[in-house]
Chains A and B, each alone.
Chain A
């Protein structure tokens, strides 16, 4: 099976469609929270990440400190570090140098998953195609949402604030349903976050509170429910994607409770 630019473009289409709706919501929301259409679109074109952008938007509009932005983005997007490391094991020997610096922009959950599922090593032409279609979808979706958001009256926009959290819940809840360890992590982080917010004598900015809660909850998860060791690298294409990791979490759970 040839693995070239056109195949990459084609494989990127399903990702592109998924991205249209998420980025549309981001554009709508960004404008609802006070950005102009080009500001929302520029965030999408330079970041290409869902949770990080929504968190960044919130911090931006709440006037959070720049260091909070650094910390929040670092922890929210820390998973890309892992994916990029995995991807170095998957690309062919000609995929190096400047093309790695450029195409690193394309490391998202979905593009990573598709790239890792290829039977052959991933070439830079294929990865370029695989990045391009979703990237266009991400940009165009944001622009469309932002332009629609510009004509929505202000009083209505406030209600859209809940959309971000609806999206977050749509990411968290299905995983927590499948994986008991993830459920524990989510509950610990949520409860700790509420305690920090509502107990009067604790004063933490939102960025630091989020970081603290997430690190405590994830450290607890790693300590109590470590994932099983990764399989050997004999057969290409079996490196765990996010979904496989979740299955691994389930297996761990069964072992723990057995």
Chain B
């Protein structure tokens, strides 16, 4: 369990960084970014972050490796078919749960 003081430290850091990223440019910046490389970098960053967070963590994310890989496979298929976030998440959990029960 997380102690309350540690929880509030994390919370403050998360909220502050996220807020300042939104507020500072909104209040201060008057011009647009025209540099195409900076704009492209910012465009690609979220996908790099999400991919690096997902792999290799997803391989053990449902406990054991086999349920995790089964859930990941379902998630990949559903995501490829453009299903919504919740559908993909539930699909992955459902198969991971079924495989865990069988094993």
| Residues of chain A at the chain B interface (Cβ within 8 Å) | 21-22, 24-25, 34-35, 39, 42-43, 46-53, 55-56, 58-61, 66, 69-70, 72-89, 100-101, 103-105, 107, 156, 158-177, 181-182, 185-194, 197-198, 206, 209-211, 213-219, 221-223, 225-230, 245, 249
Knowing A51-B50, A213-B48, A225-B40, say if A169 contacts B76 (CB, 8 Å).
yes
Is B103 among interface residues, defined by CB-CB distance under 8 A? no
Q: How large is the interface on B (under 10, 10 to 19, 20 to 34, 35 or more residues)?
A: 35 or more
Instruction: Quote the shortest CB–CB distance from A220 to chain B (angstroms).
Output: 8
The residue that B32 contacts in the complex, of A89, A105, A209, with Cβ under 8 A, is: A89
Pairs across A and B, CB under 8 Å, 24 listed: A25-B85, A49-B18, A60-B7, A70-B13, A74-B17, A76-B49, A84-B21, A84-B29, A85-B31, A104-B23, A163-B92, A166-B88, A167-B85, A171-B46, A186-B47, A190-B51, A190-B52, A191-B55, A194-B56, A214-B45, A214-B49, A227-B40, A230-B32, A249-B43
Most chain A CB inside 10 Å of its own CB: which residue of B11, B44, B100 = B44
Q: B65-96 interface mask toward A, CB cutoff 8 Å, 1 = contact, 0 = none? A: 00110011001101110111111111111001
Asked if A159 and B96 make an inter-chain contact with CB atoms under 8 angstroms apart, the answer reads yes
Instruction: Quote the shortest CB–CB distance from A209 to chain B (angstroms).
Output: 7
A79→B50 CA distance, assembly (Å): 13
The residue that A166 contacts in the complex, of B23, B89, B100, with Cβ under 8 A, is: B89
> Who on chain A is nearest to B7 by CB?
A39
The residue that B93 contacts in the complex, of A66, A101, A159, A185, with Cβ under 8 A, is: A159
With a cutoff of 8 Å between Cβ atoms, the chain A residues found around residue B97 in the complex are: 156, 159
**Leading 4 A-B pairs by shortest Cβ distance:** A214-B48, A166-B92, A173-B79, A213-B52
A24→B55 CA distance, assembly (Å): 24
Instruction: Quote the shortest CB–CB distance from A179 to chain B (angstroms).
Output: 9
The residue that B76 contacts in the complex, of A52, A173, A187, A197, with Cβ under 8 A, is: A173
Instruction: Quote the shortest CB–CB distance from B72 to chain A (angstroms).
Output: 7
Asked if A66 and B10 make an inter-chain contact with CB atoms under 8 angstroms apart, the answer reads yes
Asked if A227 and B23 make an inter-chain contact with CB atoms under 8 angstroms apart, the answer reads no
B 36-66 contacts with A by CB, 8 A: 36-58, 61-63
Asked if B88 and A79 make an inter-chain contact with CB atoms under 8 angstroms apart, the answer reads no
Is B102 among interface residues, defined by CB-CB distance under 8 A? no
Asked if A171 and B85 make an inter-chain contact with CB atoms under 8 angstroms apart, the answer reads yes
A177→B31 CA distance, assembly (Å): 33
